[in-house]
Structure 1
């Protein structure tokens, strides 16, 4: 491998692993969002079956 390819590999690894580490640290600092409004009323859509159409 040439020097340029090793350098580009190192830069790519720093970007990928650095982003992973930063995201883990950010999630540990604030695991849940506090700025969202409270949830709405549950309308039980998941309880309904699949819609079947006569074709």
Structure 2
């Protein structure tokens, strides 16, 4: 392998693995979002009823 190919490979590896490390650290710092709105409404249909889609 040539020197530019090795340098490009090292750069690509640093970007990919560095992104993984940064993502893991960010998820450890803030594991769950707490600014989301409350959940949706419960489904009141019968168990075996057909789902009707507006298309």
1:42, distance to aligned residue in structure 2 (A): 2.1
Q: TM-score, normalised by structure 1?
A: 0.75
RMSD: 2.2
Q: CA separation in 2, counterparts of 1:44 and 1:5? A: 60
In structure 2, list runs of 5 or more residues that go unmatched. none
Q: How many residues align?
A: 50
Q: How does 1:25-44 map to 2 (within 5 A)?
A: 25-43=25-43
Q: How does 1:14-33 map to 2 (within 5 A)?
A: 14-33=14-33
SS for the counterpart of 1:38 is: coil
Which protein has the bigger helix share? 1
Q: TM-score, normalised by structure 2?
A: 0.75
1:41, distance to aligned residue in structure 2 (A): 1.8
In structure 1, list runs of 5 or more residues that go unmatched. none
Divergent runs of 4+, >6 A:
none
